Structure 1
């Protein structure tokens, strides 16, 4: 069962005009729950929203701090704005224990592709591997401009390509992906257009060698219409391809709590009583996936699914 921690912000500093780095520590100075590269935490921001942020340091068994970087999105739903506006040194925040839906798997060689703030989990992986003396760790880091590039000074080695589109246009990824190689794992994190491009350009690779994580869990996979049956009263709710299960249920008058609406907090989790699930969230454990789904992003994997309120029945 994931636990919640109350952590204090010990450092807060801008890395770029839009990206701020936050260091979170236990107020009593204790060690924090372990994590590995690729992990994220869910932060309850002062405005009340829950948002998932990748941990940017390599982690380990007894970390003394969690470090996250938050890009301010003025067109978003308020979570990043609250982090930038309301959080300063000394602020205490409720933070989940780390979860990892984007783990670093063993491989002879790696190709990491990061777009913008997608560098955050990638940085943790690259630092872990290179600190251990690994070679064959290549990085393609794509941003709009040098001024908008967090950790720019860290990636100037012979295996790093840092590309700014403002004066050069988009980077041609095909030369890096044209020849599939079972000795290479490709890790990609970034905005949806980058993810789509990498998926297309690696269609001829073995699927097990490609690892993707978008900024949010939403927007992954093909969306097909289905019917949801609300178990408490048997109400049948059509869920069209363009609408989430959460939104469809609300339109039908079913009240479902939510917060992030991006698949990273689990607030809108529902019990699944019948039917198959296409899980698209980044927060569920394997046990949770057996009998529940996150309604804001996950969809039915069958034409019909029966769902109801979620009750966490952990053993006493």
Structure 2
């Protein structure tokens, strides 16, 4: 499906560093369907491509896509461009929604959000509560009330909003100590929170625990290797300290990317030869037999052969 050109119809500051963007079709047409957990890839005015979770529950014919962007002055420029270069009426190129963090059926849910990780979790909580499908408990962990988007939405008896600046870190063990095969745990947030939830749910069935990682690449030893670019046979040396993505770009081979942490799949390439260690969370199952994420994947063999990804529907 082709990318969309959407207009910024609403801009709202939800916190000092978090801005809400409502994106609509300039002609008023309905947008492609999506379900909670989906994200879109937005091309910023400065040319960055960034993945943002959709914060509303979605459905068959949504009238808008809503994303929230936390400004990070120490980042790679995407969030700064969204804050500084986007105004009411700005038109942005946006991918159709993709969903690698789907909301699965369950009798009960425990949602855990850390900081801006509330964005996909909000969509899920609203969908579950609107449908009456089961209990939806929320643990929302932020630094302070001032820094908490959607703070007033989550003040019910099933909601725990915890500010670390006031009370220190929340002890998650009482909420995860007893595994529940009829429940699902969904967590989105920074890496330390994800590591804690993964450790504290080691005694749960793995299929009941769902984590949305902002940074997916697994740390580990990296050896140098050679990548052969199939379209022209060019041989690209990839040293231990450099990603395949960076090495290809260094040698003049353009590869699109977004998160550069193995979560979005934008830099997916076709794997045509050799063995690869997959360090991403974007590719699953059969996809890994013939593809790799250039930003984090490493070669297991001295040489691999790669080329452009021709799969339909990739973003």
2:297 is equivalent to residue 309 of structure 1:
no
Shift, 1:134, TM fit: 3.3
The answer on 1:128 being equivalent to 2:127 is yes
Q: Could you tell me how far apart the structure 1 residues matched to 2:182 and 2:242 are?
A: 39
Matches within 5 A, 1:41-120: 41-120=40-119
CA distance in 1 between counterparts of 2:272 and 2:68 reads: 38
Does the 8 Å CA contact 2:106/2:134 hold for their aligned counterparts? no
Q: 1:178 — aligned with what? A: 177
1:188 matched to which residue of 2?
Answer: 187
Q: CA deviation at 1:32?
A: 0.5
Distance in 2, Cα, partners of 1:249 & 1:130: 47
Give 3-state SS (helix, strand or coil) of 1:46's partner. coil
Partner residue in 2 for 1:148: 147
- Mapped to 1, the partners of 2:266 and 2:246 lie a distance apart of 14
User: In the alignment, which of 225, 235, 244 is matched to residue 222 of structure 2?
Assistant: 225
Q: Deviations over 1:251-289 (max 9, x none)?
A: 6x463434422446655332201324526154x687754
Alignment correspondent of 1:27: 26
Helix, strand or coil: the match of 2:305?
Answer: strand
1:250 and 1:29, CA in 2 relative to 1: closer, same or farther beyond 3 A? closer
Count of matched residue positions in the alignment of Structure 1 and Structure 2: 308
- Give secondary structure in 1 for the equivalent of 2:15: coil
1:313–1:169 Cα change, 3 Å? closer
Q: Gapped runs of 5+ residues in structure 2?
A: none
Provide the alpha-carbon RMSD of the alignment.
2.5
Contact 2:37-2:123 within 8 A present in 1 as well: yes
Q: Contact (CA 8 Å) 2:236, 2:247: kept in 1 or not?
A: no
CA contact (8 A) 1:279 1:289 kept: no
Q: Residues 33 and 228 of structure 1: is their aligned pair in 2 closer, same or farther, counting only changes over 3 Å?
A: farther
Alignment of 1:2-17 (within 5 A): 2-17=1-16
CA contact (8 A) 1:228 1:239 kept: yes
CA distance in structure 1 between the aligned counterparts of 2:312 and 2:160, rounded to whole angstroms: 47
Q: Does 1:255 align with 2:253?
A: yes
Q: For 1:194-245, what per-residue CA distance to the aligned partner results, in whole angstroms no more than 9, with x for missing partners?
A: 1111111112221111111123xx33445343554422448474554x6533
Do the aligned residues in 2 keep the contact of 1:118 with 1:214 (CA within 8 Å)? no
Which shifted more, 230-239 or 50-59? 230-239
* Residues 33 and 63 in structure 1, CA contact (< 8 A), matched pair in contact too: yes
Contact kept in structure 2, 1:225 and 1:303, CA below 8 Å: no
Distance 1:208 1:266, change over 3 A: closer
For the 8 Å contact 1:227–1:236, the answer to whether it is kept is: no
Distance 1:290 1:35 in 2: 27
Residue 293 of structure 1 aligns to a residue whose secondary structure is strand
**TM-score (norm: length of structure 1):** 0.89
Unaligned runs of 5+ residues in structure 1 are none
Post-superposition offset of 1:247:
3.3
Deviations 1:7-47 (A, max 9, x none): 00000110001000000000000010000000000000000
State whether structure 2 residue 166 is matched by structure 1 residue 197: no
Question: 2: distance between equivalents of 1:13 and 1:175?
Answer: 36
